[in-house]
Amino acid sequence: MSFIKEFREFAMCGNMSYLAIGVIIGSSFGKVISSLYHYA
């Protein structure tokens, strides 16, 4: 899981606002993908 490792390094050196925006975008993107799989 290199993505989680890179995200953790980014979260440690990045700003908390960027981290919050990343979490919001990631959760919304996951919901869109799951809804596409649901209708497919």
Per-residue pLDDT tens over the stretch 1-40: 587 788 777 766 667 777 788 889 999 998 888 888 877 6
Contact 34, 26 (CB under 8 A): no
Question: pTM above 0.95?
Answer: no
- The pLDDT, as a whole number, for residue 24 is 92
- The pLDDT, as a whole number, for residue 6 is 81
- The pLDDT, as a whole number, for residue 2 is 81
- The pLDDT, as a whole number, for residue 40 is 64
Distance between CA atoms of 13 and 31, rounded to whole angstroms? 27
Amino acid at 25: I
Distance between CA atoms of 11 and 20, rounded to whole angstroms? 10
